[in-house]
Structure 1
Amino acid sequence: MEFCPTCGNLLQYELPHRERPARFFCPTCPYVCNIETKVKIKRKQHLVRKKMDPVFSEEDRRNGPQTDGVTCPHCGHGKAIYHQAQIRSADEPMTTFYWCLNEKCKKNWRED
């Protein structure tokens, strides 16, 4: 959909006629926009992936509160460090992120 830059009304499409190209026109004001038949690509721009910082730093993980009531699903260890964050809409519950305290495991998981 295209809109008129002068009055804001919806532009209507008009078929090409004889030597006149197809065009958009405004039904209320004299604005006309001719449609070119060939499209030229001026340049290609390569997208660069932006580096993302972690939500919780290594220091947050080491100094976080510990819990005894959670079992690691990977190794079965009974202690973990946890953090909570609101990652969905405000009416949804917070998400809890856990990191296993077993030196051999150190896996992480979350509960929504």
Structure 2
Amino acid sequence: MLFCPSCANILLVDSNGGQAFQCQTCPYTFRIRQTHTSKKELVRKELDDVLGGAAAWENVDSVEIECDKCGHGRAYFMQIQIRSADEPSSIFYKCCNEKCQHQWREG
């Protein structure tokens, strides 16, 4: 991004072939002599686990429900209010099978 040195407005690409940047408010023009590209990799910030991570599943009860992924007949569950107070709670499940650990929700 380039800015005009006289009025500090952003310079836009010239509509006459794109060989220059020009200011919209004053007659300043910056001629493009060579192409320049740059690429910057953005570092994504680490996301927090909405359900509280592994510690949230330590002291929860289990119920008889079939896992969609492995077919195991038991899963841990917890209820969390994720919407407004007048909406019902959502029930989150985690498969009790140590090899599966699939998570899903109802509601």
Aligning the two structures, in what range does the TM-score lie when normalised by the shorter sequence? 0.5 to 0.7
Choose which of 36, 40, 51 in structure 1 pairs with 2:10.
Answer: 40
Q: State yes or no: 1:61 paired with 2:31.
A: no
Structure 1 partner of 2:81: 86
* Percent of residue pairs identical: 46
TM score, norm. by length of structure 1: 0.52
Choose which of 84, 88, 91 in structure 2 pairs with 1:96.
Answer: 91
Structure 1 counterpart of 2:49, which letter?
A: P
Offset of residue 79 of structure 1: 0.9
| Structure 2: gaps spanning 5 or more residues | 1-6, 12-41
The alignment partner of 1:63 has SS state of coil
TM score, norm. by length of structure 2: 0.54
Structure 1 counterpart of 2:54, which letter?
A: E
Q: Return structure 1 stretches of 4+ with deviation > 2 angstroms.
A: 37-41, 47-52
Choose which of 62, 85, 110 in structure 1 pairs with 2:105.
Answer: 110
Alignment length, in residue pairs? 71
What is the aligned-residue RMSD (CA, Å)? 2.6
> Cα deviations across residues 17-68 of structure 1 (Å, max 9, x unaligned)?
xxxxxxxxxxxxxxxxxxxx98338xxxxx8644332132212213211112
- Structure-2 separation of matches of 1:48 and 1:77: 38
Structure 1 counterpart of 2:47, which letter?
A: M
